[in-house]
Amino acid sequence: MRRISLLLLLALAFPALAAGAARDTKLALVAYSTPKDAYGQLIPAFQKTRAGQGVSFSQSYGASGDQSRAVAAGLPADVVALSLAPDLSSLVQKHLVAQSWNKDKYHGIVTRSVVVFVVRDGNPKHIKTWTDLVKPGVGIVTPNPFTSGGARWNIMAAYGGALRAGKTPRQAQSYLAQLWKHVVASPASAREGLQTFLAGRGDVFLAYENEAIFAQKHGQPVQFVTPKATILIENPIAVTSSSQHKQQAQAFIDFLRTKPAQRIFAENGYRPIVTGVTQGLNFPVRPQLFTIKYVGGWPSVEKKFFDPRGGVMAKIIGANGG
Amino acid sequence: MIGRYAVRFAALGYLTALLALPVGYVFWRTFRHGFWPAWHAVTTPEALHALKVTLILAGIAVPANTIFGVLAGLAIVRYRFPGAGVFNAVVDLPLALSPVVVGLALLLLYGRGGWLGGHHVVFALPGMVLATMFVSLPFVVREVVPVLREVGTEQEQAAATLGANAWQTFRRVTWPAIRWAIAYGVVLTTARALGEFGAVSVVSGRLEGQTESLTLYVQDRYQAFDDVGAYAAAVVLALIAVTTLILMTALKPKEETR
Amino acid sequence: MAARAEPLPARFQAAPALAVGLSTLYLSVVVLLPLAAVAWHAHGWGAITSPEAVAALKLTLSLSLVVAVINAVAGTAIAWTLVRDRFFGQSFVNALVDLPFALPTIVAGLVLLTLYRDLAFTRWGVLAALLFVTLPFVVRTVQPMLLELDIEMEDAAASLGASRVATFRRIILPNILPAILSGVALAFARAIGEFGAVVLISGNLPFKTEVLSVYVFGRIESGDPGGAAAASVATLGISFAVLLAIGGLRRLVTRHDR
């Protein structure tokens, strides 16, 4: 009798043990700061799918550049989701991400956004274009591009906006110098920048659309204008080469590109990379939208503009004493 | 006569504007919409994890530094050894250092590429524990040393001549003399450990549920525009601080009070 | 009776070796080893000569000095009120003075920011945060001194016709000046390294409100730990120099006829 009950117990226990072994997977997601809310919804959604059954997550959010450097310094990660491609490329150089990370159909991107102008209620200074930013008396708040990787999108948006307006590259560069003269505050991160602006400094804050929407969702009195010429921000994502669960990590990334997941991103203010998920949401298409390729692509832009020793921005910021 | 009231008014005014009003205002803001919204804000899984992390950090750092504090106190005062002066100065170092430097030191030592690198110390709990131990190190020592000096060795020597060994002497003679100093030191150590921010900020990695302490959580909520969450967590920390204050006042060495 | 450290009888010899050995080991692992890593890795002196670093240095030094002076005055006034005055709620106020020791620095910054919104992102905000965390130092060094001071000395001076102000200036001040300077040194050292209280309220605007600890933090986060280490070593050097100066000043004003 006892032997039979023991066998029965084992028989019942076996599937439980097997399922437990399958439940073993824990993925470490290291991401930049703004998609925290979105991933809070996306992870449970993933866990409801077949591929996501029994997968648990540890999550870490912080400034994109900081997170990239943290992973390089040893922060464990299976999936890395950052704000801009250079932060991911630096991990490629350290052999933490495969070189082929952006060779798929989506070029390694998971969400998009655009650069916008956050203005005061009613837009009293009528700031609508890049030229308006350098009108006399306009104070600009933008994060420091040397501490905030994401702030580089702002600079390249301004540069590209000047090119679109018909300027030559040299004129566009001197436009950047003019722009920087109007900067009244350049805090270390985008989030701090928004807080600085909301605390009353400056007339306009250069931000990403999804940051502005995030602030609005959280009750902040934020109003923004999307200029006609603006850059398409593309946020990359990749599996790390040190991951012990590459298959599940890739399954998670694949999930993030499905329509339901992209809908969740869209509801959180991100522009999706697939079509058909933006009903009821407002993502105006700008006639003079351009990508980073229009201004030279990240590798050449990083060197030319953001080299701390001789890049265009280093010279401009240095000349202004900050 | 006016002088006395003027000084009193100025002093109390300064304290009110700088301390009492801001702290009181945060309490008011937190509970403005009632108790339950604040309660919910502070019992989210993330907040509870953060509280757990903070308690673990203190739970390891405080006993470790207490034992160290007693041993070091005895070493400095009772047992002459070469370098005691340097030892004493090093013990005081954590009080003079910026917490960011402490975090940097741990990062350089235990991070990838560091001397003792590559063993999941930084960006994990062990790193945060070490940071907390570092910053809260001096307090028990500094309380025990003056008491040991004051008490003198007569009774200990008497006990030795009566045949007591080291442990018995400690338990029967030394301990009763220093236990209130230790208690006061423990309270200060705990307060410091619970409140640590700068050093853990550098070594943490902000892994939710794992390496986010309650102090880091306050900053995180504030930066996510979640005022309610930030204030609620701040209030929890403030309440712990008030408890600490009460204990400090009760246990304080007598020569500092009236 | 204050006893010298007297060597204990032979049967105790194992105990001292153990206490000294264990505590030295602990101290080395927790404090010395990490700090050695900072000293070793300090390179990239560009980090301390860049315009941003120099601005942070100037701001931090000047604010810390201002804080030290304000504390010297306010701290003495508060200590006076706690010792020489009598009013309802005095022991509550006495306990309140320790609040900055007990409250986590991030909470301190948050409470100031909440009440004094307009201080955000300004140097005044940084000043307020530093004043908050350094409040207890001068008060607690001056208080016991005032308690000890012979009140008969003051009465004697008064009976000889000296005004209260003259009594303060001629009799009390010279006696408490060393204590004030000790407190000032502690406050200064604390202010230079403060991070948590400042990080929210200042907005960390480079060249405007960025203090040294935040600058070092920025260097770490920018993947330049060598530069951060260099900046830390430089900061420590400067604080050490200032503290030596204050210590020298203190020795100068200490009356040797006591």
Q: What residue ranges define each of the domains in chain A, with the CATH number in brackets? A: 2-111+234-267 (3.40.190.10), 112-232+285-319 (3.40.190.10)
A233 in contact with C, Cβ within 8 Å:
no
The pLDDT assigned to C3 comes to 45
How far CA C230 is from CA of B94, B105, C38, C142, C211, in Å, comes to: 18, 12, 8, 36, 16
pLDDT over 60 at A19, yes or no? no
How far B55 CA lies from chain C's nearest CA (Å)? 14
Q: What is the distance in angstroms between the Cα of B234 and the nearest Cα belonging to chain C?
A: 6
| pLDDT of B9 over the 90 cut | yes
- The architecture (CATH level 2) of C46-253 comes to Orthogonal Bundle (1.10)
Structural domain spans, chain B: 1-30, 35-256
- Specify whether the CB–CB gap between A185 and A172 falls below 8 A: no
Chain B residues in contact with A60 by the CB 8 A cut-off are 205-208
pLDDT single digits (tens) A182-193: 998 888 777 778
Chains touching chain A, criterion 3+ CB pairs below 8 Å:
B, C
Measured in degrees and rounded to the nearest 5, phi and psi for residue B226 equal: -100, 75
For residue C36, the surrounding DSSP H or E stretch is helix C33-41
Domain map of chain C by residue range?
46-253
Half-sphere CA count of B223, side-chain side, radius 13 A = 23
Secondary structure (3-state) at B117: coil
Look at residue B5 and tell me whether its pLDDT is greater than 90: no
Task: Mark yes or no for CB contact B108/C235 under 8 Å.
Answer: no
Q: Give chain C's end-to-end CA distance (angstroms, integer).
A: 19
For residues A260-272, average pLDDT: 96
Superfamily of domain B35-256: MetI-like (1.10.3720.10)
Mean local confidence (pLDDT), A13-29: 63
Say if strands A109-119 and A204-208 run parallel, antiparallel, or are unpaired.
antiparallel
A76 interface with B at CB cutoff 8 Å: yes
C83 touches chain B (CB under 8 A): yes
For A60, the closest of B120, B205, B224 (CB atoms) is B205
The DSSP-derived string for A213-251 is HHHHHTT---EEE--SS-BEEEEEEEEBTT-S-HHHHHH
Distance from CA of C31 to the nearest CA of B (A): 6
pLDDT at A149: 72
pLDDT at B256: 45
Q: What is the pLDDT along chain C (258 residues), one digit of tens a residue?
A: 344 445 555 545 567 788 899 999 999 999 999 999 999 998 877 778 888 889 999 999 999 999 999 999 999 999 999 998 889 999 999 999 999 999 999 999 999 999 998 888 889 999 999 999 999 999 999 998 888 886 777 777 778 777 777 777 777 888 899 999 999 999 999 999 999 999 988 877 777 888 999 999 888 877 788 889 999 998 889 888 888 888 888 888 876 544
Q: Which of A65, A144, A199 sits opposite C206 (nearest CB)?
A: A144
Mean per-residue pLDDT over chain C, rounded? 86
Tell the residue number behind the tokens 């020791």, with chain if given. Answer: C101
DSSP 8-class letter at B156: H
Is residue A58 less than 8 Å (CB to CB) from chain B? yes
User: Residues for chain C: how many in total?
Assistant: 258
Report pLDDT digits (tens) over A154-203: 999 999 999 999 999 999 999 999 999 999 888 877 777 888 888 888 99
What is the band of A270 on the pLDDT scale with cuts at 50, 70, 90?
very high
Task: Number of A to B CB contacts under 8 A, please give it.
Answer: 45
Residue with tokens 């340097």: B86
pLDDT digits (tens, 9 = 90+) for B172-202: 888 888 999 999 999 999 999 999 999 999 9
Q: Does A87 touch chain C (CB under 8 A)?
A: no
Please give, rounded to a whole number of angstroms, the shortest distance from the CA of C114 to a CA of chain A: 12
Cβ-based neighbours of C126, under 8 Å, separated by 6 or more = C59, C63, C198, C201, C202, C209, C211
CA dihedral C204, C205, C207, C213 (to 10 degrees): 10
Closest chain B residue to A67, measured at CA: B205
